[in-house]
Structure 1
C-alpha cells in the first residue's frame, strides 16, 4: 500500500500514541499550525494515576478514561485508529498493523509501556499484568464473580514498588466491599518495599499493610507459573535441581515494573537495552533529528528516569517547544529532569502515602492532594 501523500508544501507531523505528551500537543496545536497533524490512536486513553483505584471499584472506567478522538476533533487534529507495526526512518514512512503506510516530515512516538509477565501455565493460576490498564478491570470483574460465589482466592502480587503496594491495598479494599477475606501476599525480590524511600515512610507503610492483613515476603524471585501457584527461587537457594520452590496462588498480579512495548524493537531506531528508544536531551532519537520519543517508551542517554507520569508530563512541554522549533528552524532546547519528583500512592481506605526525596507524609491529606492533582489533570482534557 503506497504512503498517503501530505498536502503539497506543508510538513506532516505524525503523532503515534495517545499518551500524556500527545494530549498536551493536541491541546496546544496552535503552536504547530505550520504542519498538518495526524494522531495515530490505538484506543481510549486510560489515566494511569487512577489505575489501581479502578481495581478497587472506587473509580469507574468512565472516570479514568479519556477519548483522544473527541479531543483531537475539537482542536482540528486528524485521527487514525490503528497501531504502529514498522518504521522506515530514512524514508519517513510509518506502517500500521493493518497495512496502511503513512509518510511524515516529523514523527513523535509516545507509545507507553507494558507489564512483563511469565507465560501462564495450564492448569494454573490466573495471570494479570498492571498494564494495559483494562487488564485490571478484567481482574476486578473476575474477583467480583468469585466473591459473589463465596470463594476466597489466594492472591499473590509480585513487585515491591509503588504499583505492587497499591495493587495489594486496592485488592484488600475490593474484597472488603464484597465482605470477602482472601489471602493477599505481596512478594518482592528486594529486601524492602519502595526501594530508596525514606525509612520512616517504609515503616509507616509496613504498619498499614499489617493492619490490612497483607503479608509481605522479601527476597523471592518469581520465575514462572505452575499448577495452582508460582515457582520462585531465593538468593540462598538460586542454583541446582532443588532451587525452584512453589507458592500457592489462584491469581497472580505482576507489578514488578514496566517495559517498553515490543514494537520498539522493530522500528530501526537506536535502543538502550531493556529501557527503550534512545533519546538525546532534546528528546530526538540519535541520528534522526526529525524523530522524537517521549514517556515510558523512551530512555534518555544521560539520565535513567523512573517510570513516573510526572516526567512524561514535564517532557511534553519541551517536546512542544522543540517540534515548533524544528518546523521554524529555530534552536532546540534541552529537557532537564527535576532532581526530585512527588509520588503519591493510593492505598485505598482513604489513605495515601506521599514521598518527595527525603520527605514523606501518610494519611488522608496525602490522598486528598492526589485526588486534587488527578482531577486537575483530567479536567484539562475533558470536553
Structure 2
C-alpha cells in the first residue's frame, strides 16, 4: 500500500549524510513526487581517505563534502541537527534540540561509531578512528610535537584494515618531519586482517617490520594507565597477573565499529552490535516506513563487514524502494556482492589491494585507490 497518510505531497526525511544519502541527493529528481529534507550533524568526511589525511597525503578539505551545499544544488531542504527519537504512530522525527519533523517515509544513514576505553585525566591522549575530525586533530597534535623536536610514542589498537592503515600512516607522518617513529600495533587476533589471504598477511608483516612498526598479536587492550596502555594476552584473565604496560603518549582505537548511539533510543529492533535490523528491502523489521542503509543497518539475512562499498551498492535499491513505497508498488531486494575490493593505504606510496583470495601490493595498488577515491569525491564536488 502507499505510504501516504493523507492529502498533499508526501515528505521523505533523510537522517545522516552517508554514502547512500549522498546518492539520493544527487538523484533527487527521481523522487520528484515528494518533498525531501536531509538532517545531518555536519560535514561528510570520506572514510576511504581518512588514513591519508592522518599521514599527510591529503589535506582535510580534500575528504570533506558539504551536505548543505549539495542539498541546495539538488533541491532538498537541509537541517543541521541530530535524531533523538521517533514517534512512529504519529510519523514524527524528534531532534535533540527539541524540533520535530513530520515524515511519510524516513531513511537512516548514520554510519557507525568507534568505541574507546575510558580515558584518564592523567595518562595518554585517547583517540578513535571515527569521527574523522579526531584524526585531523591528532595530526595537528603530532605535527606540533615533531616541530618542537619531540617524538611521542604511539599505540594503535586494532589489527584490522583500519588499524593497519593508521599505524602505517602515523609512520609516514613521522617520516615527513624526519622524526623517530615509536609505533606499536596491538591486535586481539593472532593474525592481522584475519580474512586476508595468507600471502597478503605475510607480505604485510614484512612491510611493517621494514618500516619499524612493532606488532603485538593475540593481545587485548584492557585499560588506560597514567603511563600508557595496559594489555593482556587474549583469553587470559586479569587474575593471572597477565597484564603488561605499553608506555605511550597517544592511544588510537581502531579495534572495531559499533552502531551509533542514536539508534538505541528509537524503539526499533537492533541486532546486537551490528545495527538496526532491516529486511533485504532495507526496511526496518518493525516498520515498513523506516528504511536504513550503510553501517547503521544490519541485514537480517546477511552479515556484512562495515565497508563503504556496501552503502554505495545499497543506494540504488534504497532509492527505488522509497519510490515504490510512495506509490504502493513492489519493492526490490538488495543482494550483497559475494566479494568486495579493499585497498589499504600503507603510506610511503605503498598500497595493498585484496579481493577474496586475490591480492596485490605496491605503488600500483595505491594509485588505483587514489583514482577510485578521487572519482567518488568528484561526483559530489561538481
TM-score by shorter chain over 0.5: yes
2:274 paired residue number: 275
TM-score (structure 1 length as normaliser): 0.97
Pairwise CA RMSD of aligned residues?
1.3
Whether 1:167 and 2:166 are equivalent positions in the alignment is yes
What SS class does the counterpart of residue 239 from structure 2 fall into? coil
Counterparts of 1:41-60 in structure 2, within 5 Å, are 41-60=40-59
What SS class does the counterpart of residue 289 from structure 2 fall into? strand
- How far off its partner does 1:242 sit? 2.1
For residues 268-296 of structure 1, the C-alpha deviation after alignment (integer angstroms, 9 at most, x for no partner) is 11110111100000000013111101111
Q: What is the alpha-carbon distance in structure 2 between the residues aligned to residue 308 and residue 211 of structure 1?
A: 28
For residues 229-263 of structure 1, the C-alpha deviation after alignment (integer angstroms, 9 at most, x for no partner) is 11122136324162433221110000011111111
What SS class does the counterpart of residue 214 from structure 2 fall into? strand
Q: What is the alpha-carbon distance in structure 2 between the residues aligned to residue 73 and residue 41 of structure 1?
A: 14
Counterparts of 1:1-383 in structure 2, within 5 Å, are 9-235=8-234, 237-240=236-239, 242-383=241-382
Q: What is the alpha-carbon distance in structure 2 between the residues aligned to residue 57 and residue 235 of structure 1?
A: 33
What SS class does the counterpart of residue 330 from structure 1 fall into? coil
For residues 100-151 of structure 1, the C-alpha deviation after alignment (integer angstroms, 9 at most, x for no partner) is 0111000000011111001101210010000000000000000111111111
What SS class does the counterpart of residue 111 from structure 2 fall into? coil
Q: Which runs of 5+ in 1 are unaligned?
A: 1-5
Inter-CA distance 335–146: structure 2 relative to 1 (3 Å threshold)? same
- Contact preservation (8 Å) 1:164, 1:256: yes
- Contact preservation (8 Å) 1:230, 1:247: yes
- How far off its partner does 1:65 sit? 0.4
For residues 303-333 of structure 1, the C-alpha deviation after alignment (integer angstroms, 9 at most, x for no partner) is 1100000000000011011011111111001
Q: What is the alpha-carbon distance in structure 1 between the residues aligned to residue 297 and residue 23 of structure 2?
A: 17
Q: Which runs of 5+ in 2 are unaligned?
A: none
Equivalenced residue count is: 378
Could you tell which deviates more after superposition, 237-246 or 40-49? 237-246
What SS class does the counterpart of residue 286 from structure 1 fall into? coil
